[in-house]
Structure 1
Amino acid sequence: MGLNEFILGLNNLETITRAPGFFKYTEHTVAAHSYRVASISQVLGDIEELAGVEIDWKSLYEKSLNHDYTERFIGDIKTPVKYASKELRGMLQTVEEGMTEKFIAQEIPAEFQEIYRRRLFEGKDDTVEGEVLAIADKVDLLYESFEEIVKSNPEPVYQEMFFESVATIKEYSHRPSVVYFFEYIFPELLDQDFYGRAEFLKKLI
């Protein structure tokens, strides 16, 4: 028993479609999403650090890189299904955690097991790094959905994803990185022409 299965699992993430059935113009995989979230977390961490916040970079990189690794076990379930009820979400989480623990026990050498329990279980907590991860995850979804919007995809789900992401990010307005995001980054994202732009921007007011 070595770390072979963990590394093989990275290949699995390249074949798992993110938000299956939603994105039409650009296919997104869990592996690509994990990389983007890690990169966005790095950007947000830099902003936090410049604002005087102490960042545990090892923790931030571990959380962001591994935050969706366990989707190799159950895939990326459609959000409306995943959040249809608290009971269903709880059951899915229980299954995922059980499969993760079984994977660690069977495939990870004993001397590394506590390390991988830390890495593979829920990283979105009330630490600075956990909050930055939660923000970065939604920033990536915001960009993913906006790409479909500017390409004139008529499905309303993309605007729903976009505005839900904006609302969730704003819940972390106490973080310097969120203040910076909405002051400097977000306006640049919106500063492009696309069909229905005027009506779209009205919904942000």
Structure 2
Amino acid sequence: MAEYNFYGMVSRMKYIARWGLMRNNRTENLSEHALEVAMIAHGLGAVRNRLYGGQVDLGQLALCAIYHDASEIITGDLPTPVKYYSDEIRGAYKQVERIADERLLGMLPEELRPDFARYFEPFADPEVEQLVKAADKLSALAKCIEEEKSGNTEFGAAKAAQERDLRQMRLPEVDYFLEKLMPGYYRSLDEMEG
């Protein structure tokens, strides 16, 4: 019987550090990031469905968010200034990500691949892709807030960039999240429980 390495490989997300060019007070790994993006994406989808007449599949949304950066297990986390330096680099990196995703999917038994492939980029549903991207930015903003709260001023410009990008999305569920749910990231445990 053949053996497959998909789960062994995916479990290595915990070894991929994020924010490599930044001085971090607390290192964030890819596994933590994927979970947070999945939780936020699920929340954005719930807001869209309940308040703005959406019909996004919350399960698909959460699973796409879990795997949205899985290619980084193979590629590592390329810093944003490098990844988005030019259209040529961005396009080449997207191709590298697709190849890495295909390699990961190839670590599954062939009969299971269709059940996983739809959760890897490029997403089949543009609505899901839009909400995962928003959740990714909200997660990055949360990281910036966490670092600032611990006295690290290194993340100030990154925080401003995330806030600007999120506002430019012009998505009502993102605005809702920023107004009603993001303030919790600024509070201490005692303030949240009080």
Instruction: Tell me if both proteins adopt one fold, taking TM over 0.5 as the criterion.
Output: yes
Q: CA deviation at 1:5?
A: 1.4
Q: Tell me: CA distance 1:10–1:102, structure 2 relative to 1, closer, same or farther (3 Å).
A: closer
Residue in 2 that maps onto 1:67: 68
Letter in 1 for 2:81: P
Deviation per residue, 1:143-184 (Å, 9 max, x gap) = 1011112222232xx1221111112211332x3312312332
Q: CA deviation at 1:98?
A: 1.9
The secondary structure found in structure 1 opposite 2:33 is: helix
1:165 counterpart (153, 157, 162): 162
Which consecutive residues of structure 2, in runs of 5 or more, have no partner in the other structure? 189-194
Two-structure CA RMSD over aligned residues (Å): 2.2
Q: Determine the C-alpha separation between the residues in 1 that align with 2:124 and 2:157.
A: 22
1:185 counterpart (160, 181, 187): 181
Residue in 2 that maps onto 1:198: none
Give the alignment of 1:50-129 within 5 angstroms: 50-51=50-51, 52-105=53-106, 107-123=107-123, 126-127=126-127, 129=128
Q: CA deviation at 1:121?
A: 2.1
Residue 176 (1) aligns with residue 172 (2) = yes
What is the TM-score with the length of structure 1 in the denominator? 0.80
The secondary structure found in structure 2 opposite 1:110 is: coil
Residue in 1 that maps onto 2:192: none
The secondary structure found in structure 1 opposite 2:100 is: helix
Letter in 2 for 1:38: A
User: CA contact under 8 A between 2:34 and 2:67: conserved in structure 1?
Assistant: yes
Q: CA deviation at 1:189?
A: 4.8
Q: Tell me: CA distance 1:19–1:122, structure 2 relative to 1, closer, same or farther (3 Å).
A: farther
Deviation per residue, 1:8-40 (Å, 9 max, x gap) = 122210000012131421110000000001111
**What percent of counterpart residues are identical?**
25
